[in-house]
């Protein structure tokens, strides 16, 4: 039993004027750790260790009263912004307490767990590979691995040579793209390759004889990339076929980080140019030559190209070097990067077919920079040829202006493409509106939810979401639109909560919002500010949002699900997800493509409904226009229905009648 008087203060952690108390107490079952004082959260050693691991890796983590989503740490009702210094102080405190807990607990945690190994690996500081490889190998063997082997690229040639292994065994002198073309393509495209059975994994066909000869049944391969491209690969080997767990993958990436720290040269000046990548130009004059050449080629061949300006406010010297690395990692061979000192970076994408392509690169880049530079304001401005400008000077001016606009509005991505400014102004002035369409239970026709649908009032009439969201996606405004819609939806939820309405509020989010590491903390803050339970909210996303990065989307959905919101997959059947993937996602509702409500598609609709029920989700039949459709989908087993036969979307001013009486205008 925890005794309030028995808490011992380990350290007070000062965070932006607030104090986070770190305390501990010895119980018969072992030590417990408390964060945040009497109103905070008590963690068992295993929970504290999980928090520590996620602080180390940067991954989000949720427990009953604690949420970590970098850079925010939420403890009960309090939230803390952890800058790098505060995060390191918390990491060191937890490490020290866990070591003490290991020694005093009556039932100590196993000493050879992947968590303890990760902590040990993360704290190692080696002088070179000769010291690191044997030590890391011993740690891995203690966890049941057969050993490890490191291959590095030593020249400009597409060759990998052995750089160290433990234990020592015979190896070929090199791996080459000429003899192993498929394997090198796999390395170029991945950060982690989890092969569970060497005999069956097609990606490793070219290495099968080598690996089996080493007595390897399964292998985790963590790929090392640099500004110049492929740098090497680390093999973590298992003697038997093995199903790799997320913990194994986390450990592999942590070991790779140790290797990269050793390999990373310590230099006094920022250097992002590599001999293998002549397109990485440090000087602006050199970059402008590349830009002029790319523009000339684009004009000659009728192609598009993009110029990006990237600025980060408040960067230190080490952070500038980190930003350069993160940007360089996203580049293709045809791209070019320049460091402009206090003016940030310029990035040339010489082969872009359309604006959305440049926007996707920018979003990927923004995600990497946000993860690496947590808490700093990042602005990315994009100028397209020929849409925005047709000269070098014009592209520079447009990109710089767009970047400045992005920073003025809190960071993010901005284009000055026609229509983009008007849409941005509509968001800034909050002149978009919401309409709400009801979702009814098909069993008793009770209202179960209302879906928020964005509308843009213009002189020529009311524009529906489908008419302007593609533009928002092209110019990088989807995330801003998502957050605006969420704020408005929660305002209405808070307004009608005292009336005792039971309906939930559904809002659509984009892929950009889904994988934003700051979105879970933003959402929790919004719910707390409105004093709303999380289960009042349904987050809807389309299949395309998942398919762009299924693994990252799945992790984000798990975090959001832990917060208590419901998750709905919209328009299911457009790009059907494999059943194996569908089962892994924490989905509450699956909304069917309206085409499945047509009588000709009844057999397909029945099979789809049965499949959705098999994965534990409720079915929403969309596009119900006629009574016959409603009756048929109910008979086929759909749980809920949505469509004009049940109710048209109503403006916000009519939402009260819809919520209270289930009717609108």
CATH number at residue 547: 3.20.20.450
Is 123 a residue whose pLDDT tops 90? no
Q: Is the peptide bond before 167 cis (omega within 30 degrees of 0)?
A: yes
pLDDT score for 278: 37
Is 602 a residue whose pLDDT tops 80? yes
Question: Are 398 and 317 within one domain?
Answer: yes
Question: Are 30 and 100 within one domain?
Answer: yes
pLDDT score for 271: 43
Question: Are 524 and 614 within one domain?
Answer: yes
Could you tell me which residue, 652 or 463, shows the higher pLDDT?
652
pLDDT score for 343: 81
pLDDT score for 221: 93
pLDDT score for 646: 92
Q: Is residue 270 part of a domain?
A: no
Give me the half-sphere count of Cα atoms (radius 13 Å) on the Cβ side of residue 624.
28
pLDDT score for 105: 36
Q: Which CATH number do you get for residue 306?
A: 3.30.70.270
Q: Is residue 294 part of a domain?
A: yes
Q: Is residue 467 part of a domain?
A: yes
- Integer CA distances (angstroms), 618 to 66, 67, 301, 304, 608, in order: 29, 28, 51, 45, 12
Q: Which CATH number do you get for residue 91?
A: 3.30.2450.30
Chosen domain end from 198, 233, 263: 263
pLDDT score for 625: 92
Residue 292 CA to residue 411 CA, distance in Å, equals 28
Q: Is residue 575 part of a domain?
A: yes
- Over residues 133-162, the mean pLDDT reads 87
Q: Is residue 446 part of a domain?
A: yes
Q: Is residue 424 part of a domain?
A: no
Chosen domain end from 108, 133, 155: 108
Question: Are 377 and 442 within one domain?
Answer: no
Phi, psi of 56 (to 5 degrees): -70, -45
Question: Are 249 and 156 within one domain?
Answer: yes
CA distance from start to end of the chain: 58
Chosen domain end from 263, 295, 323: 263
- Integer CA distances (angstroms), 101 to 76, 104, 345, in order: 24, 5, 47
Is 450 a residue whose pLDDT tops 90? yes
pLDDT single digits (tens) 246-290 = 778 777 877 887 787 677 543 323 444 433 333 344 567 778 888
Q: Name which of 289-303, 404-418, 465-479, 548-562 the model is least confident about.
A: 465-479
Question: Are 577 and 461 within one domain?
Answer: yes
| Residues comprising the chain, all counted | 665
pLDDT score for 64: 66
Q: What is the pTM of this model?
A: 0.48
pLDDT single digits (tens) 316-330 = 877 888 888 788 777
Burial class (CB in 10 A: 0-12, 13-18, 19+), 552: middle
Q: Is residue 273 part of a domain?
A: no
Phi, psi of 337 (to 5 degrees): -130, 135
Residue 520 CA to residue 514 CA, distance in Å, equals 9
Residue 157 CA to residue 515 CA, distance in Å, equals 36
Question: Are 104 and 122 within one domain?
Answer: no
How do the residues of the chain divide into helix, strand and coil, expressed in percent and rounded to 5? 45, 25, 30
pLDDT score for 379: 92
Question: Are 472 and 606 within one domain?
Answer: yes
Question: Are 297 and 398 within one domain?
Answer: yes
Beta-ladder partners of 176: 159
417 touches 474 (CB < 8 A): yes
Q: Which CATH number do you get for residue 143?
A: 3.30.450.40
Question: Are 532 and 651 within one domain?
Answer: yes
Structure-token pair, residue 353: 């077919």
Residue 517 CA to residue 519 CA, distance in Å, equals 6
pLDDT score for 119: 58
pLDDT-based confidence at residue 104 (cuts at 50, 70, 90): very low
Q: Is residue 177 part of a domain?
A: yes
Burial class (CB in 10 A: 0-12, 13-18, 19+), 423: buried
| Torsion sign over Cα 239, 245, 248, 253 | positive
Domain extent, residue 357, equals: 284-417
Question: Are 132 and 33 within one domain?
Answer: no
13 touches 24 (CB < 8 A): no
Question: Are 141 and 237 within one domain?
Answer: yes
Residues 6 or more apart in contact with residue 464 via CB below 8 angstroms: 453, 455
Helix (H, G, I), strand (E, B) or coil at 646: coil
Domain count, the chain: 4
Residue 159 CA to residue 455 CA, distance in Å, equals 55
43 touches 51 (CB < 8 A): yes
- Over residues 484-499, the mean pLDDT reads 91
Is 12 a residue whose pLDDT tops 70? no
């Amino acid at each position: 039993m925890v005794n309030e008087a028995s808490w011992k203060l380990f350290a007070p952690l000062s965070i932006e004027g607030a104090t986070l108390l770190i305390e501990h107490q010895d119980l018969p079952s072992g030590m417990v750790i408390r964060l945040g004082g009497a109103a905070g959260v008590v963690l068992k050693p295993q929970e504290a260790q999980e928090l520590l691991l996620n602080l180390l890796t940067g991954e989000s983590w949720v427990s009953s009263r604690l949420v970590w989503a970098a850079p925010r740490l939420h403890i009960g009702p309090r939230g803390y912004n952890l800058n790098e210094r505060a995060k390191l102080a918390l990491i060191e405190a937890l490490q020290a307490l866990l070591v003490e807990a290991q020694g005093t607990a009556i039932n100590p945690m196993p000493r050879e767990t992947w968590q303890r190994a990760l902590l040990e690996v993360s704290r190692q500081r080696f002088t070179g590979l000769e010291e690191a490889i044997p030590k890391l190998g011993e740690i891995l063997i203690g966890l049941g691995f057969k050993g490890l082997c490191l291959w590095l690229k030593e020249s400009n040639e597409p060759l990998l040579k052995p750089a160290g292994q433990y234990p020592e065994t015979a190896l070929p002198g090199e791996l080459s793209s000429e003899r192993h073309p498929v394997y090198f393509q796999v390395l170029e495209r991945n950060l982690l390759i989890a092969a569970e059975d060497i005999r069956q994994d097609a990606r490793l066909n070219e290495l099968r004889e080598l690996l089996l000869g080493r007595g390897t049944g399964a292998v985790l391969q963590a790929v090392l990339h640099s500004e110049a491209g492929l740098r090497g690969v680390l093999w973590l080997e298992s003697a038997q076929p093995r199903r790799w767990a997320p913990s194994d993958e986390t450990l592999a990436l942590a070991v790779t980080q140790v290797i990269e720290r050793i390999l990373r040269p310590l230099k006094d000046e920022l250097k992002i140019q590599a001999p293998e990548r002549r397109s990485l130009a440090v000087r602006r004059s050199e970059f402008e030559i590349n830009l002029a050449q790319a523009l000339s080629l684009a004009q000659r061949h009728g192609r598009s190209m993009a110029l990006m300006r990237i600025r980060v406010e408040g960067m230190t010297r080490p952070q500038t070097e980190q930003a350069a690395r993160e940007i360089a990692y996203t580049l293709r061979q045809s791209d070019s990067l320049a460091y402009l000192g206090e003016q940030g970076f310029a990035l040339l994408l010489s082969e872009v077919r359309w604006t959305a392509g440049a926007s996707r690169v920018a979003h990927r880049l923004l995600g990497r920079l946000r993860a690496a530079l947590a808490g700093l304001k990042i602005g990315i401005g994009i100028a397209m040829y020929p849409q925005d400008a047709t000269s070098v000077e014009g592209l520079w001016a447009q990109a710089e202006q767009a970047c400045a606009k992005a920073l003025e509005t809190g960071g993010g991505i901005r284009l000055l493409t026609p229509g983009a400014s008007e849409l941005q102004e509509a968001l800034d002035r909050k002149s978009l509106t919401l309409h709400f369409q009801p979702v009814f239970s098909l069993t008793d026709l009770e209202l179960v939810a209302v879906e928020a649908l964005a509308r843009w009032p213009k002189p020529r009439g009311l524009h529906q979401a489908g008419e302007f969201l593609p533009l928002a996606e092209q110019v990088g405004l989807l995330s801003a639109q998502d957050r605006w819609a969420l704020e408005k939806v929660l305002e209405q939820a808070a307004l009608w909560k005292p009336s005792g309405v039971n309906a939930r509020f559904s809002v659509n989010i984009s892929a950009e919002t889904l994988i934003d590491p700051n979105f879970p903390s933003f959402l929790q803050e919004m719910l707390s500010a409105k004093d709303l339970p999380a289960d009042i909210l349904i987050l809807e996303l389309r299949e395309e949002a998942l398919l762009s990065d299924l693994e990252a989307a799945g992790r984000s959905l798990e975090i959001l699900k832990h917060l208590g919101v419901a998750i709905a997959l919209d328009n299911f059947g457009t790009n059907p997800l494999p059943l194996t993937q569908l089962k892994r996602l924490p989905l509450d509702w699956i909304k069917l493509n309206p085409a499945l409500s047509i009588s000709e598609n009844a057999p397909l609709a029945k099979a789809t409904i049965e499949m959705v029920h098999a994965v534990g989700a409720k079915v929403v039949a969309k596009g119900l226009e006629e009574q016959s459709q409603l009756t048929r989908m109910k008979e086929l087993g759909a749980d809920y229905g949505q469509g004009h036969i049940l109710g048209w979307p109503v403006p916000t001013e009519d939402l009260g009648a819809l919520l209270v009486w289930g009717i609108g205008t």
